[in-house]
Structure 1
């Protein structure tokens, strides 16, 4: 793995991935719209992936051992990737998500989701849907990822792997999800938690960067789940963030959204395929207390 392209990769665990690849000795390029400069020693290619003429121009004459796609959200993105990288990528790794399993079906508690629950070879692709509309795309995030995986898996354009990330937590999280809990607890306000309060799977931002680095240099194809051992419920997060202080939870009121990471369905993932392939995951207790302490300062 000498020549790697990361599409996106300018924030959160994507930036850590770029740094890991660079420090491992790979020649790394980052493709994005140019809003943020990459780390030192990393080449920046500026193009909007949805502008295929501009993408083709910036990629002209370039080949890559591995492409890691951090921002493939729709089947249109995936179809454009097939056209752009067929014949010039030795391996293609897509950063996918636990949200591909959000199909409305409920799993028995304690029976974690294996990769075969969602088979890209069988999933229908609806490219005619309004994927270019940001509101539609955001509301259909899991479906967009499922269809993107399906397009890339079926294309045959390159060896393809999808890394399905558990909910990623980290000090650099720009979504404000942990801050939501901390602010509600500090203000003495109830945290909206579903009565079922069922667990889900998580990973640390550094671990997610590490597993993507591993996947880039591996040979497997197909999907792997990426999550730490040790599932967590919303109240588990409250307990950690409250740090011994009292707090209140309440069921979401009519029309109110539950707090982030509060689920009515069991959402645990089985990470055994990745471990059988050679990756060793941490446990949430290894990193969550330190993360809570770091983000409480």
Structure 2
């Protein structure tokens, strides 16, 4: 199939592209042209600013793809700039589990219904939840829901995580810096960067209508992350309410997600325990 990947040269965009190439798809990557990657196969590039409608039009006007995988749709205006200038049979958007209004264990896709959300045309704003809800909703102005997939991930971790969220805990323990962790016992879901990419590629050949959650099986408590790092480093964490605020503060309840819909499509996610402790070792 002829596939456009918008934002495929960074983090888990790379395993998206490699998985598509392994399946023999014809891949074009839309980027700003700042980064070139040695993929596991040949790809084509188009250079554009996806937030600028005229830039997208110059690069992609009159192009049609079997599938568009949109990894960097952060606002409704991002979606507008793209979909008013290029067409496709199917559209897959990397959304986020942050669209869900309530935190609890076992969140299912129907807890945020894209079609029922009141659309606002907006640029990228600091209210991440609001802007991503609008990014989902904007797609339905251009395509039928039956041709759309919204992939909702929790926090993505991996060796190439440029945000340093897991590294925060390890470095604070290693350097004996105090940190403020507001709930040691909160349980969270995560997904590894490689699997996050591979699942999006899987959806090209195994379409899912509407929203679908993706995360590793199982969860982990912040206290377990800290305890593992303490043992590996042979140092104790310095916990202090006046210390540096930890990345996952602010949760009021467990934050885990059902992946039954993905299982129905034939995809089984890995167990969290199969990689999270290896990743802690890697960071150390």
TM-score, length basis structure 2: 0.91
What is the correspondence of 1:88-167 to structure 2 with a 5 Å cutoff? 88-101=87-100, 103=101, 105-107=102-104, 111-127=105-121, 129=122, 131-132=123-124, 137=125, 139-156=126-143, 159-167=147-155
Counterparts in 2 of 1:27 and 1:179: CA distance versus 1, 3 Å: same
Matches within 5 A, 1:183-202: 183-195=171-183, 197-202=185-190
Instruction: Determine the C-alpha separation between the residues in 2 that align with 1:203 and 1:251.
Output: 29
Q: 2:32, 2:48 within 8 Å by CA — same for their partners in 1? A: yes
Q: Any gaps of 5 or more consecutive residues in structure 2?
A: none
Which of 264, 271, 295 is the equivalent residue of 2:283? 295
CA distance in 1, matches of 2:257, 2:216: 9
> Which runs of no fewer than 5 residues in structure 1 stay unpaired?
none
Q: Distance in 2 between matches of 1:185 and 1:83?
A: 49
User: Which of 275, 282, 294 is the aligned partner of 2:263?
Assistant: 275
TM-score by length of 1: 0.87
Task: Note the alpha carbon deviations across 1:95-145, whole angstroms, 9 max, x for none.
Answer: 1112112x3x443xxx41111111111112222x5x25xxxx2x2112111
Q: CA deviation at 1:249?
A: 5.4
Aligned length: 279
Match of 1:59 in 2: 60
Partners of 1:35 and 1:57 lie apart in 2 by: 18
**Which residue of 2 is the match for residue 248 of structure 1?**
237
1:260 aligns with 2:260: no
Calculate the aligned-residue CA RMSD, in Å.
2.0
| Partner Cα separation in structure 2 for residue 209 and residue 95 of structure 1 | 10
Query: Secondary structure of 2:263's partner?
Result: helix
Q: Is the 8 A contact 1:166 1:202 kept in 2?
A: yes
The C-alpha deviation readout for 1:29-86, integer Å capped at 9, x for no partner, is 100110001435111100101221221121134221110000000011122233123x
